Structure 1
Amino acid sequence: GQYVMLAVSDTGTGMTPEVMGRVFEPFFTTKPEGKGTGLGLAQAYGFVKQTGGHIKIYSEVGHGTTIKLYLPRTRREVDVLDVTAGLPVEGGSEHILVVEDDEGVRASVVDMLGELGYRVAKAENAESALQVLKNEKPDLIFTDVVMPGTIPTRDFIRQAQVMHPGVHVLFTSGYTQNSIVHNGKLDDDAVLLSKPYRKDELARKLRSVFAGTARGAITEPTPASEQQPRGKVLVVEDVALIRLTTVDMVEQLGFAVADAADAGEALVILKQDSAIEILLTDLGLPGMNGHQLVEEALKLNPALKIIIASGYSTAEDVGGKKVSGARYLTKPFDMQQLRRVLET
């Protein structure tokens, strides 16, 4: 594909090959304690991967470093300036269903919408929202993206649109638009209001959704030839940045992906989704570690292919023995290393 390249160079001391091999690893730094977090390049790497791009580093000791960001070129029309931003806040009389699991946030949103003149119904999760939709026909569903329950938000909205064709949808989340789209939580044309937001921001976003002028994520359509997944992978990683990046890499290799932040969440997904063929898990998970997760996962599906990714040098570093038949992937890993373990 076509990319826009942004290069940043310095004339500093440069980096050795050993340092270059770890620069994208979260919390890795060569600076003295208190002088750096080790997250700068890790965050840059995560951002670039979430956009579908690449990042390259060129460095020579004693001469300096150049970092090149390759960002996918988009042919989408340039977003126009929101001319409503400085206008008075405008409410409405439409009927809105608020779906939010946090009781305090839900109450606050309901109050704001009521003050703006809207008629409001509320639900604490997708399951209860579907019950509300059996008896009510809202003009818009305003829903959080990540909520507890057995029904993913994207599936909930699809069911809601079958029940009430033409209903408007506005999502809200603490995650950025592109990160939740690339992480598979939402479709690429979804419209999102990022948390936290003010009453005037909510009001203007709602009017733009009703007017049909709200825009979704900046994302290129995927060619039909590339839409057939090669199998489904469950990625289990407690560090959000690494999880998002790994999910994006797996998707680029043509696999469908589910993800979990810990072993408990992973086991729930494995019980519900029989399409998962590969478990790609970190070892050092909170609570139940990676080895314990693998043992329980293989009880659910003995045919599951196991890939263990870890920064530990040996399996015994987290109190486990090597899993028979499992493939091991040492962090940090690149696309080619990931491809090899997924395809063999």
Structure 2
Amino acid sequence: MNYQAYEGTTGAPDGLKELHLAAAYLQPQVSESDSTDQPLNDFQRAQYKLWSGLRARGNPWLITDFISAGTPMYFADVLYTRRRKTFDDRVRRRELPTCPPQNEEQDHAEETEPAYSYCCRGRDVLYDGAPFAVVRWTNLWFPHRPQRFGVLGDWFGGPLQPLFGPGIRDVPVSGNGWKRFIPGYIHALYFKFPEDQSPDSVRQRLRQALALEEVGLSPTDDQVSSALCLLAQAGFNAEAVDAAYAELIDPRRSVPDGSVQEWLESLTRSRVACLIDDLRRRQSRGGDGGAHLVEHTERDRATWPSGGVLPSATPAGRPAAGP
């Protein structure tokens, strides 16, 4: 799937250069609470930009976020390879994916600059071991206490940056009251607190990682402006909704009356994001064929709600959210 693109596409996808630059500035987290550093924010923004660039070129990849909760991957070097040296060797051979990915030509090049792609038919293509070039990784866990040899909390979860790379956002969960200190068994309770809305609860951390607070909001001014511009470039009437808009609307619904701006402002932020995505892909393939249905594309994104948020709609302190 990594090589799929519209016929005639050449060069590098939008965002690849930014990802290489952002990855070069990544540093491991200093402490458990340090999960909002600027280099990591920049890296995750670049990941989403590259995902958007691939989608605009016709790549069907939908996933932008991977969230682990209390995962025993914390012990991957022991459970999988039994020795840290063996684990590190497999990472260097690109047998195990990391975030950011290992360099594609690391074994043959002296340069240390990130390189996650190769040239195929005149275009830059992500290599097979680089899924986390476009998929942002957030890791949640209930820390064990005391921190060293502690028995309270989750015995199996922990930070993943030391094993899988500094591009992971490690987030220790310090909410959910005394229950987070239940020895061992708390590992099975990550999704047992649906009503707890305290700032550091699992529920809130999941919502932040998926940008669920953005679902259902009205589109931003930037989104409406972008959509109007793209509609005009695609040959649609940018002033009033007419019969041509039927291809952008679920056939079970009638074409609305009124101005295009009013119609766009009546949609949700995620639906306008889907429309912009479709129009950009239509533009990339030279305008042949109609845009996909907005509603159909939104259903495709049901499993990745952060995909409905464009970078311009991102709240402060949250990396550009995407699928």
Same fold (TM over 0.5): no
Q: TM-score, normalised by structure 2?
A: 0.23
TM-score (structure 1 length as normaliser): 0.22
When Rg is computed on C-alpha atoms for both structures, the one with the higher figure is 1
Structure having the higher helix fraction is 2
Q: Which has the higher strand share?
A: 1
- Kindly indicate whether structure 1 or structure 2 has the higher relative contact order, using CA contacts under 8 Å at least 6 residues apart: 2
